Amino acid sequence: MSVKTMLCRCEDVTVEDCREAIHAGYRCFEDLKRFCGVGTGPCQGKSCVREAMKLVAQDTGVDISEVDVMTFRPPVRPISFATLAAADAADAPSPAGSSLEPK
């Protein structure tokens, strides 16, 4: 993996960009995401999160199991305004039931 390797294709973030951010002190995944945008594009991190976490682990010297995972948020797949607007309220789970975030 060269430094010019694209890490997050949606947001144009390279391995080098991520490494620079980690070395500048953005040492957890949530920081990295907010500093260089990795994981915030149309794929919502599905193709880049694990690679970015590996980089954090490598460059900070911690085990990957200790690296924080980004919060995955709804919807699981992109869904159009038209579909959402037409959805029947009866089909809608309660707000708590639809939450993917820790309480």
Partner 1 sequence: MTEEAGAGPNLSLGSAGPRKDHYHVVVVGGGAIGLSIAYHLGKLGITDVLVLDKDSLVKGATGRNGGGVRAQWTSAENIELAKRSIAAFRHFAQETGHNLFLRQGGYLFLTRAEAQLQALRKAAAFQNEHGVRTKVIGLEEAARIVPGLNTDGCVGATFNPDDAVLFPWPIVWGYKQAAEKMGAEVVTFANAQAFEVKGDRVTHVRTNRGTIGCDWVVNAAGAWSRELAHLVGVELPVKPERHEILVSEPLKPFLNPMLVDLSTGYYINQDMRGELVGGLGTHSEESMDWGSSLEFAREFAKNTVRLLPRLGPVKVLRQWAGSYDKTPDAKPILGIAETGPRNLVQANGFSGHGMMISPMTGVLIAQLIAGQKTDLDLSRYALERFERGEIEADPMVIG
* Smallest separation, CB 8 to partner 1 (Å): 13
The CA–CA distances, whole Å, from 81 to 34, 52, 61, 63, 78 equal 26, 31, 43, 41, 10
Please report whether residue 92 would count as binding partner 1 according to CB under 8 A.
Answer: yes
Please report whether residue 81 would count as binding partner 1 according to CB under 8 A.
Answer: yes
Q: How many CA atoms lie within 13 A of 93 on its CB side?
A: 7
Which is it for the CA torsion 8, 72, 67, 26, positive or negative? positive
- 15-23 and 49-60 helices cross at what angle (nearest 10)? 40
Selected from 6, 19, 35, 51, the binder of partner 1 by CB under 8 A is 35
Selected from 28, 51, 54, 59, the binder of partner 1 by CB under 8 A is 28
Please report whether residue 62 would count as binding partner 1 according to CB under 8 A.
Answer: yes
Please report whether residue 66 would count as binding partner 1 according to CB under 8 A.
Answer: yes
Selected from 1, 2, 4, 85, the binder of partner 1 by CB under 8 A is 85
Q: Is 14 helix (H, G, I), strand (E, B) or coil?
A: strand
Please report whether residue 59 would count as binding partner 1 according to CB under 8 A.
Answer: no
Selected from 1, 2, 4, 96, the binder of partner 1 by CB under 8 A is 96
